[in-house]
Structure 1
């Protein structure tokens, strides 16, 4: 379900329509990070760098500090949230097409995804800050916007749980990335987008070698692969709540209905083929 929903959420960070909306707010769109931090953080309000670092985890605090709280000097969170929905509306119309957006299948998918999202946050604790913040926003009326908001709640719910799993595994933010790269999730240069210095990356690698999780060449040992597998198992376990709430039949139906939108998102060419999340991979 994550593989089907994540591309539908992530279009926001790459679509030209979203950059148009960000530029209209006054953000520098020569790089994607000003709008990324604005779009993703706005549900938390005018959050400061420490809160954002805690919620995002894998980003270098130094990198976050370059953009937060400066993004709120450009536009208030309420204005960012309004522009975010406009960006999604324009993007979905361009990528998914008007016929799909007007279809009963899209409306059904939106209703099922929203039911799953409601199940995700019905008993969510403060440890799910991004999921809870997105769930508290006003519900849009258009089915395609309902679908996007639900996809966002579900991916943030999973992400919030993933951070818990990393902490339980004793992996700090940069170690989480180094250990992920070490199992071949993506080439190391892809992870440079998270802003850690070469020195910080090397120090984290040394710490993981000392724990027996990496070998001298920086590749994951059997123990390292086992730990990462446990992180993913625990992440999936923590992410199961919304799908248990939706039930197996509803989940299977949603998966079926998401096939078309997923293909459109992946086929748009907007999402990077190599990324830190595994978008589009099976």
Structure 2
């Protein structure tokens, strides 16, 4: 379900319609990060860079500080309103008007909302912040908001699993690269310096989780087992919404999401290589 929903959420960070809305708010759109941090952190309110870095986990705090200004150009309320406008325009462009207005999409939105409303938010700051927002009326916007709550719910749980595994933000990225999630240069997007990456790798080498020396970084059997345990715990912590929806409801939602998923992946907007495995099966 994550693989089906994540591309529908992530279109916001790459669509030209979203960059248009961000530019209208005064954000620099020469690169995607100013609007990314604005869109994703807005539900947290006027959060300080340190708070955003904590919730986002894998980004360097120095990078977050560059893109989360102390005095942003727009209020969180303005950003949230523009975010929905961006999703509306993006979905109409990518999915098509017929799909946006279809009974199948309305059914998918209703099922996704049921799952999202069953997502517990205690100890999950990004899930809680998004779940507290009012639901929009249009089904395609409901679908996007549900996908967002569910992905942040899963993400918050994933961070808990990383903490239990003793993987700090840099180590989490190095270990993810080591198991082949994406080439190491892709993880440079998280803003850590070469020295910080090397130090994180050295800590994993000392624990016997990645092989010493060599490029690219290679995972050991122990490292692969730990990473598998992180993913198992992540799935376990993300299961409640789908348990509530039930096998039949979940299967029906998966069936209904097939067409929109293909449209999102086929749009060409999402990068072929990314740190989240978007589009991989």
Shift in Å, 1:68: 1.6
Distance 1:36 1:209 in 2: 33
Q: Is 1:7 aligned to residue 7 of structure 2?
A: yes
Structure 1 residue 73: deviation in Å?
2.2
Q: Distance in 2 between matches of 1:135 and 1:182?
A: 34
Task: Note the 1:78-227 alignment, pairs <5 A.
Answer: 78-121=77-120, 124-125=121-122, 127-216=123-212, 217=214, 218-227=217-226
1:225-244 alignment runs, 5 A limit: 225-244=224-243
**Can you list the C-alpha shifts for 1:56-105, whole angstroms capped at 9, x where unaligned?**
000001100111234x5210000000000000000000000000011100
8 Å contact from structure 1 (residues 47, 69) kept in 2:
no
Indicate if the aligned counterparts of 1:110 and 1:150 stay in contact, CA closer than 8 A.
yes
- Structure 2 SS opposite 1:237: helix
How far apart, in 2, do the equivalents of 1:215 and 1:149 lie? 41
Q: 1:257 is matched with which residue?
A: 256
2:37 equivalent in structure 1: 37
Segments of 4+ moved more than 3 angstroms? none
In the comparison of the two structures, how many residue pairs are matched? 278
Distance in 2 between the 1:41 and 1:92 partners?
A: 21
Distance (Å, rounded) in 1 between the aligned partners of 2:59 and 2:110: 33
Q: Can you list the C-alpha shifts for 1:253-278, whole angstroms capped at 9, x where unaligned?
A: 00000000000000000000000000
C-alpha distance in structure 2 between counterparts of 1:102 and 1:28, whole Å: 33
Residue 39 of structure 1 and its aligned partner are, at CA, apart by: 0.1
SS in 2 for 1:73: coil
Structure 1 alignment gaps of length 5 or more: none
Q: Which residue of 2 aligns with 1:58?
A: 58
Q: Report the Cα distance in structure 1 between the residues aligned to 2:244 and 2:119, rounded to whole angstroms.
A: 8
CA distance in 1, matches of 2:65, 2:206: 30
CA contact (8 A) 1:46 1:69 kept: no
Aligned partners of 2:134, 2:268: CA distance in 1, in Å? 31
Could you tell me how far 1:30 is from its partner in structure 2?
Answer: 0.1
Q: Distance in 2 between matches of 1:95 and 1:7?
A: 12
